Structure 1
Amino acid sequence: MPSSLRILCVHGLGDQRQSNWDADWSSAIKRAVGTSAGVELDFRFLTYDPIFERTDISFAETLGAFWKLARSGLGGLFRQPRGPVSNISDRLRWTAGYVVAWVEDEQFQQETRALVLDTLRDYKPDIILAHSLGSLVTYNAFSHADAGESEAAKALASTHYVTFGSQIGNPFVLGNLTYGRVQRLAVRHWHHLYNEHDDVFTAPLKVQGVDNFNQLLTPFDLPGFGDHDAAGY
């Protein structure tokens, strides 16, 4: 095991700028690695929320996005919503609204792709941890022709890519982003964690005919919506 690891963390659904996601993730990772390993962990936390915030989504568009996801059997996140209508509307905007808006807008994808690949070139991570919508943003970047640029390709080839709580394999994303087929990625290894109890748009994933991909079953079922919790994975 190396003496140090550079770990790039990419969050998932919802505006994370007012949360403690970076502290939660680093604590969970340190507990998983343990102190006896003698490995120094260096973290970088990537947020794409400022890009998403610049994209205006009307209430009608938000509702339309919800129904697109619900028709694909992906409405688990919104069962029994509670709280004021304004809170529910904001929640839908930052979840269903932005998932659909991002999947259907190439300019939107281009902005997040540039952010991810610039970070990849600069940081050169040993491990990339991508949760939920963060897995879509990173997969889109790593499967795009832009990732073939020499510096990005070199950094990507030496990294372990870990996706969890991911929507890459769900019907809506498969049909509209990946065109029905998940591509092989030019990473050292792609580890996909799947929790059968996670109902927030997630699905198991298959990448045919490659030796640098594996899916790990990571079942856990916590109260409420905790079964999508990044630290739980």
Structure 2
Amino acid sequence: MAKRLKILAVHGVSRHPRGGEWESRWQEAINASLQRVDRTARPEIHFLNYEDIFDAREISAQGTLTAVGNVLAGGLVSLLRARTTPVARGAARGLNDVPDIVRWTAGMVTQWLGDSVVRRQTRQRLAAAIKDFNPDVVCAHSLGSLIAYDTFRDQRQVAAGLMQRRTFISFGSQLGNPFVKGQFAGRLEALDCHHWYHLYNPEDDVLTAPITIAADNFEQVNCRFDIAGFMDHDAWEYLRHPNVSDVVWSDLLSPARQRRQVRRARAELGPSRSKRRALLIGINHYPQAEMQLEGCVNDVYLMSEVLQDSGFREQEIRLVLDHRATAQAIRDRIHWLLDGAQAGDERVLFFSGHGAQIPDYGPDETVDRLDECLVPWDFDWSRERAVIDNWFHDLYSQLPYDVRFLSIFDCCHSGGMTRAGLGRPRGLTPPDDIRHRMMRWDVGKRAWLPRSLPPVNRSLAESRLRADYLGLSGVRRRRWVWLSAARWATSLIGCSGRRWRTFSIFT
């Protein structure tokens, strides 16, 4: 006789009336998925609704978007543009350019994040439902997954052991989105639960993102699907995906010993891991003649010598040089470098090439800040062909605290600097249309002057989340070190070195 699973289902954004069609569709999908594993499975499902909490606050989704866009001065744009798809890129020119479901999702998510009463009441309702129904599994979609994570991380619920013997399934979730994650001190933590499965569909454009958590009780399950139209956010499609049967329900319906063996086998079938990894990137020969540099490839080889002198093996070091160092290639290899890192591992990232700042648009369609970036070989002054600091932060912020991570950026973070001589400045002069975004016309002086645009990443020292990010004493015990050859508003000049070869400031 199959175990009778008790499942608490938590809906996402948009309307989900009690007893509505969504409940029968979820029931149908869960039953079908479970019965692929065991035909006798008959789950008991309870549905949690929380829309009345939002309705009572009388705040419209669009109104919330406008207000938050003004207050955060661009934080919401990160939410709308985290994915580099045509839909997400449309948000760069205003909220009206994105589909209604994205605006509605952003509105409800932002309202929930910004309204302490709504957050407290949704936590209380979910915690009460778990205590009353006593489920084996909490299954939460979209905004429901944010409410669930917020509840499960509440220290009172952790102390009470709310989820200790239960399984959490998140899907269509915005938890991994940079803007949302920033509200949880920029980092998602493991949960005190039996197991957490995160169902992720790379085609889902409703502000979702993958999640990386180095914990034995966390697992991301690939649930790729591409239905007609766009968005691919449908809860029914997630719940009926074959991998949900093969991974999630197979685990939950198996004896504990067999479950551990299967999970161990899945981990062993994954990519091989090493305690040490290094990624060294150097670009001399950019496509445009005015972007050519000297010494960057020399830097990379010298860095490889230093690492091997320090105990790294040659197979633990990857090089990416010149035309092979495209934006996508660099991102892929940074994933290789950081994904799967565990406590005690050592990781080194070295970049020698151009750095730049890209003027970026805010929610009111005006340029209001600068994105700092590494300049890949195929750089074209767009975010898609740049390695943006926010993207990089999203990866390294999830590293375990005891990973030793050294990043060395041998490049400029500003453009427009030129200088004669042997050394070449490692900054770029933007094209005139890009440069116009960074300038203003001074009527009194009758001259074009630089605008005062702040960098996106500001100091955490004065943040209300300072303690969450940095610890009560101001310092988290993280073994991460960054070395930059130039400040965010300065340029770097190469220099001649040994044997008449050109090197840079670090080499």
**TM-score interval for Structure 1 and Structure 2 normalised by the shorter chain:** 0.7 to 0.9
Partner SS state of residue 51, structure 1 = helix
Contact 1:131 1:230 in 2 (8 A): yes
Partner SS state of residue 220, structure 1 = coil
Of structures 1 and 2, the one scoring higher in RCO (CA 8 A, sep 6+) is 1
Percent identical across equivalent pairs?
36
Aligned runs of 1:19-168 on 2, under 5 Å?
19-34=20-35, 36-58=38-60, 59-65=62-68, 68-72=75-79, 73-74=81-82, 76=87, 94-150=104-160, 153=161, 155-168=162-175
Q: Which residue of structure 2 aligns with residue 213 of structure 1?
A: 218
Contact 1:65 1:96 in 2 (8 A): no
Matched, 1:170 2:177: yes
Deviations 1:79-107 (CA, angstroms, capped at 9, x unpaired): 69xxxx9xx88x67742222111112222
Closer, same or farther: CA 63–223 of 1 in aligned 2, 3 Å: farther
Residues of 1 paired with 2:231 and 2:105: CA distance?
16
Residues of 2 paired with 1:69 and 1:24: CA distance?
32
Deviations 1:186-232 (CA, angstroms, capped at 9, x unpaired): 11000001100001010000113x11001111100111245100010
Contact 2:206 2:231 in 1 (8 A): no
Write the letter of the residue equivalent to 1:166. Answer: S
Partner SS state of residue 236, structure 2 = coil
Residues of 2 paired with 1:65 and 1:95: CA distance?
14
Closer, same or farther: CA 74–17 of 1 in aligned 2, 3 Å: farther
Residues of 2 paired with 1:106 and 1:63: CA distance?
19
Deviation at 1:40, TM superposition (A): 2.3
Aligned counterpart in structure 2 of residue 192 of structure 1, from 176, 179, 198: 198
Closer, same or farther: CA 61–78 of 1 in aligned 2, 3 Å: farther
Residues of 1 paired with 2:131 and 2:40: CA distance?
27
Deviations 1:97-150 (CA, angstroms, capped at 9, x unpaired): 221111122222110000010011111111111000000000000011121343
Q: Which residue of structure 1 aligns with residue 232 of structure 2?
A: 227
Write the letter of the residue equivalent to 1:188. Answer: H
Contact 2:102 2:206 in 1 (8 A): no
Residues of 2 paired with 1:78 and 1:53: CA distance?
31
Residues of 2 paired with 1:197 and 1:93: CA distance?
18
Deviation at 1:55, TM superposition (A): 1.4
Residues of 2 paired with 1:195 and 1:64: CA distance?
30
Residues of 1 paired with 2:55 and 2:89: CA distance?
21
Structure 2 alignment gaps of length 5 or more:
239-507
Residues of 2 paired with 1:42 and 1:156: CA distance?
18
Aligned counterpart in structure 2 of residue 180 of structure 1, from 172, 177, 186: 186
Residues of 2 paired with 1:57 and 1:121: CA distance?
30
Contact 2:122 2:147 in 1 (8 A): yes
Deviation at 1:2, TM superposition (A): 4.4
Partner SS state of residue 200, structure 1 = coil
Write the letter of the residue equivalent to 2:221. Answer: L
TM-score normalised to structure 2 length = 0.41
Deviation at 1:22, TM superposition (A): 0.6
| Equivalences, count | 221
Q: Specify which structure has the higher proportion of helix.
A: 1
TM-score normalised to structure 1 length = 0.85
